[in-house]
Amino acid sequence: MAQWLEQWTHGHRIAVSIPRLGVSCDLLFSASQCGVLSKNLMAKMKGQKDLQSKYTGYTSCPLVTSSSKCILAEFDFTNTPTETFPFDQSKERRSMFLLKSHVLPPMYWFMMTKGWWHGPAVFRKIFNFWRN
C-alpha cells in the first residue's frame, strides 16, 4: 500500500480523494504522522487541492540501556540523524531516560494523538542555533 502513497503528504497517488491513516496504510512511523494527517484532512474537507502540511518522516527511538539511562535516537525517512538537543545524543544519559519516562508519554497521549504535536523542529532550531 505504501507505494501508492506520497510519503510527504500521505495522499494517495491515484485516488486523491481517499485519505490513508495510520498503520492501515503501511507507512513507517504511523504515530508521528498525526499532525500532518489532521492538517491535510482538514484542508481536504475545506476543498483545498494543495496539501500544505508535509511529513518529514521524523521519529525518535528512546533506547533504554539501563534502569535509569537511555539513548535518544532521532532520525528522518532517509535515516539522517536529526538530533534535537545540543549535546551528543549517542551517549546514554539519565536526562534522556527522564524525558522518555516522564515527558514523552503525556506528549504522545495528549498532544501527538490529537495532532497538536508537530515534532521538535522549533526546539531543534532554538537548542542548536549556534551550531550552524
pLDDT in tens, 86-97: 999 999 999 999
- Which residues face 41 on adjacent strands? none
The pLDDT assigned to 64 comes to 97
The pLDDT assigned to 79 comes to 87
Q: Are 5 and 13 in contact (CB under 8 A)?
A: yes
Compute the distance between CA of residue 80 and CA of residue 45 in angstroms, rounded to an integer: 34
Residue ranges for the chain with pLDDT beneath 70: 1-34, 131-132
3-state secondary structure string across the chain: CHHHECCCCCEECCCCCCECCHHHHCCCCHHHHHHHHHHHHHHHHCCCCCCCCCCCCCEEEEEECCCCCEEEEEECCCCCECCCCCCCCCCCEHHHHHHHHHHHHHHHHHCHHHCCCCCCHHHHHHHCCCCC
For cell 515527558, name the residue.
103
